[in-house]
Structure 1
Amino acid sequence: MQKVLPSGFLPEKFAAVLADLRKAVGKEYVFSDPQWDLPAYNDAYLTTPAELHQPSAAVAPANIEEVLKVLAVASRYGAPLWTIGTGKNFAYGGPAPRKAGFVVLDMKRMKRILEVNEKHGYAVVEPGVSYIDLYRHLKKIGSRLWIDCAAPAWGGVMPNTLEHGVGYTPYGDHLMMQCGMEVVLADGTVVNTGMGALPNSQTAHLYKYGFGPSMDGLFTQSNYGVVTKMGVWLMPEPRGYRPYMFTFEREEDLEAVTEALRPLKVNMLIPAVAVTAGLIWDAAVQVRRSDYYTGRGPLPPSARQKMKRDLRIGEWNFYGALYGPEPIMDNTWEVIRDIFMGIPGAKVYLDADRKGEAAWEYRKKLGMGVPNMTEYNLMNWIPNGAHIDFSPISPVTGPDAMRQYALIRDRCDAAGFDYCGEFAVGWRDMHHIFCLTFERDNEDSKARANKLFGELVRAASEAGYGEYRTHIDFMDQIAATYNWNDRSLWRQHEKLKDALDPQGILSPGKMGIWPKTMRKEVKA
């Protein structure tokens, strides 16, 4: 890697930035060597040249006082910062900055669990706290509270929430379960949101909205401030937990499954995030593609059938769970079982039927908030696997599910990739997560993946489906699809950026929100 500088910086000016950052946090926590330090801030799953996202340096503060000092340095010199939490946002850019030359503001040293309130069911965490950190802490103190985790245990509790991430228990909408933030603005102002703005507040992490406009959402998927503390609601351990799985034999069963699911979710008979996983998603955590097919192009029907028989999975595999006292679970189970078993060819499994099977065990753990790393086995589907995730939002209807599935599957087939996807249903929406798996050491595979992703963005937006989250390479393209009324929403985003961060030092380009100093350059 060659050394890069922020745009417009001469070496002497950047040397002064580094010197002041070392005074702020200590020299051992400022990283600038392009050979030994900065590769840790590369995107592990990039489809474009690494030089496009190479940082000029990274700085890791240990507390809010050091964050304030770092922001003061950045403001003094106009140095662009790119904020990360745990740096594990893989498939979306990982720790890499939006543009080459940015200084990574690495928050992973701030990893204190500041409070666990057993009575009211919440925790207060800093940006570097991972799911496994919080889980282990709760176990250590003998808590009866469950966390809700994303699939990878090493992900950050706060960073995932700020990216609108989801989990798998009834507390799976992470932003909904967030309550109260501490935020540092670009000018060094520290803000407590909601009820936390009240001195000596007794309800800072109990009531989300406070008095006046609710600000918390402004600091999610944005670059308006640096969040340094967050409250997160935790689920009291239920009286009972009963995970289950249904398998369905045909591709077209996705329509019936989704139609059956919607009323069950809306009426809260299924309280947790409900997942319908495709054949390859369930297979890839257990086997490799080459175990069943070594040719090019989509898996042939014969390979798919053998895989289904060997692994006892379907073309679609629905995962859910029941929570609460046994009589309540029994009554609810009768309704759910009868509805899904009404789909021809459906099979049902409970824990005793699938103990020890990788796909089942990690879903069972996620449903009770136990962090694990099994889902990363997906990368073993092909040699040197990597992935970027395409995630359009859909209404919870059978026709919409089939339309999205066909839109992505057909383009995958044409581009030479396998469709590996799942549909996760929340309150009124359906996240369609397509895991675009490619060979990270194969330039042709990376180029085809990048091209396919761009095509999917265009096709989905034309069909009325928008992305909720994306890789750093596609932020501008996806932001441009949210263009109703001459980009009125994004123009408001830009006004807020100019008001809160007039120098544009905080994460320029995050979600396509650029400061005024860079807008002409980007549009050109």
Structure 2
Amino acid sequence: MSTSASSAQGSIPDLQTRYSGVPARLSQEAVEAKTKLFSQKTVPDSFPRRRTALPPGVSKESFDQAVTELKGALGEGNVELNDKPLVDGWYMEHPNTHDAYHIADQEELICSAIVYPSSTAEVQTVVRWANNHNIPVYPVSMGRNIGYGGAAPRVPGSVVIDLGRRMNKILNIDADNASCIVEPGVSYFALYEEIQRRKLPLWIDCPDLGGGSVLGNAIDRGVGYTPYGDHFANHCGMELVLPTGELLRTGMGAMPGKDGADNPTWQSFQAAYGPYVDGIFSQSNYGIITKMGFWLMPETGHQSYMITFPREEDFEQIVEIIRPLAQKRILGNIPQLRHVIQELAVTGKPRSFWYSGKGQMPRDVIREKASKLPCGDVSWVFYGTQYGDPASIDAQLKIIKAEFGKIKGSKFLFPKDVPADHYLHSRVQVCSGVPALKELDWLNWQPNAAHLFFSPISPTKGKDASLIHSTIAKLHKKWGFDVFPTMCVAGREMHYIANIVYDRADADAKRRATGLMREMISAAAKEGYGEYRTHLLFADQVAESYSWNNGALRKFNESIKDTLDPNSILAPGRNGIWGKRYRGKGWEILAGDKRNLLTDGVSPSLSSKL
């Protein structure tokens, strides 16, 4: 083992000793992933701090007094000032002080302090403290919302509530009910490993990377790839702290069980009686969820595969074929459709290995390089998985092969048809509920790798899909970025996820990435396509784009915010929702905003008057 690999192995957190660590089965893969990423790292681990952050409108003297009070309530070691050098780290060693993939200045979206509660009661204590001192707080589950802002607070100087470090228990796994209850610090890795330790015939559903919070991903409406891939749709019951410090349970949990126990149907039925309120606590800043239930999938037989398509213009026909297969539930999961450039990226080799020119990598170069890979000279790659007994899977595959076979030159491949290190084998794991790390490899595309996701929703129709793809491709070319499209395609809609990979040490790359994001949001909205999720610095523009009836939805969200959070202390600005204390005072970054985030920052000059 090389010196760098040995050093990497020694520093990577282990799941047995740290809640946010990697399981032993992936320790070598983690070493290799970190070694690849750090081989292109040209910046120091950290820079000397130029500034410290304070909550808006709070003096240093007042803040110090408030922090002393909070330390008295939670314990000296459970409240930390953010006064140390900022370290970006990487996926398995991410910061909770700022955005590791900063698109603004590294010291812009920083917290003033980090708090580590150990229980729901301590979360209530922190929230009441925040109200008493008029200090904004920003809760994170684990801080691995990478590509969307990580653990960074939208309002600089907020106090981050890191729920993961001391609230990371799997509270219950009910094998008969195929359900569980977890705290915010439970990762997909941790939940999977515990199910395996107990030898239970259950699957989890995980996104492409397994280190994130099960709870956190669900409330941000993240997706996975088994039949249980809609994570929020497969949650059942939550306990949360409201912005005033009051405690709420939703669903059947609102009814006490016998002799004070939890209601026995809390993890069995989602809605209970009356309005179904769970949805307002997803992608919002209306409460801090401290416990959440999930349905688990009974294990079953499965078969993953990939289908390649030779021509760019095959795209519309591919989508048209997917739609009826998905609507009839013939496709077993939410499949992925990717452009062949990602076959180059997921090898973990940097862009410079394939091409050293500027601007977008030319299509003929992609074709020539892909021709030497297992996929061959193709344009699109479809990854799918079927579930059930062997006879059912064979019947499903027969239909699928016949339908996609209508596209001339398409080719069907099983995992046994490609080398052991091919990306398809990672899809086998993820699509059968085994959390992995392989998806980190494409980050090595650029030095000091960072990325932004642009994630619009399109109908599963060829013309719509083609329009959004051509719009995104055209704008990527304008701003000088390679296009990395991943389509997660369902029967009626598809998530188009465009991944902008940039060098976080390159100011011009950040400027161009920001310009590309702003223009894609506007161009998509003009055609009627909106994002389902976005980076925190673009949340205002995305929220503004949902403007039907003079922005009725946004006004409704603001009304709920003002009612539940009268002091505007909980995560102001998250998902474009601002309380009355901040609203209309220059914090919003809307369409047409000309500020340079690197030089102008995100705080308005009026912030001192808050």
After TM superposition, the score normalised by the length of structure 1 is 0.98
CA deviation after TM superposition for structure 1 residue 12, in Å: 1.6
> For 1:132-281, what aligned pairs fall within 5 Å after superposition?
132-200=189-257, 201-238=263-300, 240-281=301-342
**Contact 1:242/1:321 (CA < 8 Å) preserved in 2?**
yes
SS at match of 1:405: helix
Residue 145 of structure 1 aligns to which amino acid in structure 2?
Answer: L
Q: Which moved more, 1:288-297 or 1:54-63?
A: 288-297
Q: Which of 414, 433, 446 pairs up with 1:350?
A: 414
Name the % identity: 39
Residue 563 of structure 2 aligns to which amino acid in structure 1?
Answer: A
1:14 aligns with 2:63: yes
1:318 aligns with 2:374: no
CA deviation after TM superposition for structure 1 residue 51, in Å: 3.3
**Contact 2:460/2:491 (CA < 8 Å) preserved in 1?**
no
SS at match of 1:391: strand
Moved over 4 A (4+): 36-39
The whole-number CA distance in structure 1 between the counterparts of 2:87 and 2:481 is 31
Which residue in the other structure is 1:473 paired with?
Answer: 537
Which residue in the other structure is 1:431 paired with?
Answer: 495
Which residue in the other structure is 1:23 paired with?
Answer: 72
**Contact 2:315/2:462 (CA < 8 Å) preserved in 1?**
yes
The whole-number CA distance in structure 1 between the counterparts of 2:75 and 2:383 is 48
The whole-number CA distance in structure 2 between the counterparts of 1:50 and 1:384 is 13
Q: Which of 71, 84, 94 pairs up with 2:140?
A: 84
Which residue in the other structure is 2:103 paired with?
Answer: 47
CA deviation after TM superposition for structure 1 residue 35, in Å: 1.8
SS at match of 1:307: helix
What whole-Å deviation, never above 9, does each CA across 1:238-271 have from its counterpart, x for those lacking one? 1x11001100111111111100000000010013
Q: Which runs of 5+ in 1 are unaligned?
A: none
The whole-number CA distance in structure 2 between the counterparts of 1:43 and 1:307 is 34
CA deviation after TM superposition for structure 1 residue 312, in Å: 2.5
The whole-number CA distance in structure 1 between the counterparts of 2:58 and 2:567 is 15
SS at match of 1:414: helix
The whole-number CA distance in structure 2 between the counterparts of 1:481 and 1:501 is 24
SS at match of 1:311: coil
The whole-number CA distance in structure 2 between the counterparts of 1:513 and 1:380 is 34
1:387 aligns with 2:451: yes
CA deviation after TM superposition for structure 1 residue 474, in Å: 0.4
The whole-number CA distance in structure 2 between the counterparts of 1:301 and 1:33 is 46
Q: Which runs of 5+ in 2 are unaligned?
A: 1-48, 89-94, 258-262, 589-603, 605-610
The whole-number CA distance in structure 2 between the counterparts of 1:170 and 1:131 is 17
Residue 237 of structure 1 aligns to which amino acid in structure 2?
Answer: E
- RMSD value, Cα: 1.3
What whole-Å deviation, never above 9, does each CA across 1:342-370 have from its counterpart, x for those lacking one? 10110100121124133111111111011
CA deviation after TM superposition for structure 1 residue 36, in Å: 4.5
Cα 1:38–1:449 shift into 2, 3 Å: closer
The whole-number CA distance in structure 2 between the counterparts of 1:407 and 1:231 is 39
The whole-number CA distance in structure 2 between the counterparts of 1:164 and 1:372 is 20
Size of the aligned set, in residue pairs, is 523
The whole-number CA distance in structure 2 between the counterparts of 1:427 and 1:218 is 25
**Contact 1:358/1:374 (CA < 8 Å) preserved in 2?**
no
CA deviation after TM superposition for structure 1 residue 281, in Å: 2.1
The whole-number CA distance in structure 2 between the counterparts of 1:414 and 1:515 is 37
What whole-Å deviation, never above 9, does each CA across 1:372-421 have from its counterpart, x for those lacking one? 11111111112222100000000001111111111011111121110011
Residue 185 of structure 2 aligns to which amino acid in structure 1?
Answer: G
Which residue in the other structure is 1:5 paired with?
Answer: 54
The whole-number CA distance in structure 2 between the counterparts of 1:304 and 1:187 is 55
Cα 1:316–1:459 shift into 2, 3 Å: same
Which residue in the other structure is 1:409 paired with?
Answer: 473
1:493 aligns with 2:557: yes
Which residue in the other structure is 1:59 paired with?
Answer: 115
Q: Which moved more, 1:31-40 or 1:96-105?
A: 31-40
The whole-number CA distance in structure 2 between the counterparts of 1:38 and 1:20 is 28
CA deviation after TM superposition for structure 1 residue 427, in Å: 4.7
**Contact 1:45/1:90 (CA < 8 Å) preserved in 2?**
yes
Residue 264 of structure 1 aligns to which amino acid in structure 2?
Answer: L
CA deviation after TM superposition for structure 1 residue 151, in Å: 1.1
SS at match of 1:403: helix
SS at match of 1:123: strand
The whole-number CA distance in structure 1 between the counterparts of 2:155 and 2:246 is 26
1:422 aligns with 2:486: yes
**Contact 1:38/1:57 (CA < 8 Å) preserved in 2?**
no
The whole-number CA distance in structure 1 between the counterparts of 2:410 and 2:422 is 21
The whole-number CA distance in structure 2 between the counterparts of 1:37 and 1:84 is 18
SS at match of 1:97: coil
CA deviation after TM superposition for structure 1 residue 307, in Å: 2.3
1:334 aligns with 2:398: yes
**Contact 1:275/1:320 (CA < 8 Å) preserved in 2?**
yes
Residue 288 of structure 2 aligns to which amino acid in structure 1?
Answer: V
The whole-number CA distance in structure 1 between the counterparts of 2:368 and 2:173 is 48
CA deviation after TM superposition for structure 1 residue 139, in Å: 0.7
The whole-number CA distance in structure 2 between the counterparts of 1:17 and 1:486 is 41
Q: Which of 281, 293, 301 pairs up with 2:363?
A: 301
The whole-number CA distance in structure 2 between the counterparts of 1:37 and 1:379 is 21
**Contact 1:31/1:37 (CA < 8 Å) preserved in 2?**
no
**Contact 2:238/2:292 (CA < 8 Å) preserved in 1?**
yes
**Contact 1:92/1:388 (CA < 8 Å) preserved in 2?**
yes
Q: Which of 566, 571, 575 pairs up with 1:502?
A: 566
**Contact 2:374/2:418 (CA < 8 Å) preserved in 1?**
no
The whole-number CA distance in structure 1 between the counterparts of 2:77 and 2:283 is 30
CA deviation after TM superposition for structure 1 residue 77, in Å: 0.7
CA deviation after TM superposition for structure 1 residue 69, in Å: 1.1
Which residue in the other structure is 2:352 paired with?
Answer: 290
The whole-number CA distance in structure 2 between the counterparts of 1:232 and 1:296 is 46
CA deviation after TM superposition for structure 1 residue 301, in Å: 3.2
After TM superposition, the score normalised by the length of structure 2 is 0.84
CA deviation after TM superposition for structure 1 residue 37, in Å: 7.3
SS at match of 1:447: helix
The whole-number CA distance in structure 1 between the counterparts of 2:107 and 2:355 is 35
The whole-number CA distance in structure 1 between the counterparts of 2:138 and 2:110 is 11
Which residue in the other structure is 1:34 paired with?
Answer: 83
Q: Which of 62, 74, 81 pairs up with 2:130?
A: 74
What whole-Å deviation, never above 9, does each CA across 1:48-102 have from its counterpart, x for those lacking one? 1233311111111111121111112111111100111110001000011002111
SS at match of 1:135: helix
What whole-Å deviation, never above 9, does each CA across 1:118-164 have from its counterpart, x for those lacking one? 11111100011111010111111111110000111111100000001
The whole-number CA distance in structure 2 between the counterparts of 1:425 and 1:233 is 22
Which residue in the other structure is 2:163 paired with?
Answer: 107
Q: Which moved more, 1:353-362 or 1:122-131?
A: 353-362
SS at match of 2:443: helix
**Contact 2:561/2:579 (CA < 8 Å) preserved in 1?**
yes
The whole-number CA distance in structure 1 between the counterparts of 2:55 and 2:172 is 38
Q: Which moved more, 1:509-518 or 1:41-50?
A: 41-50
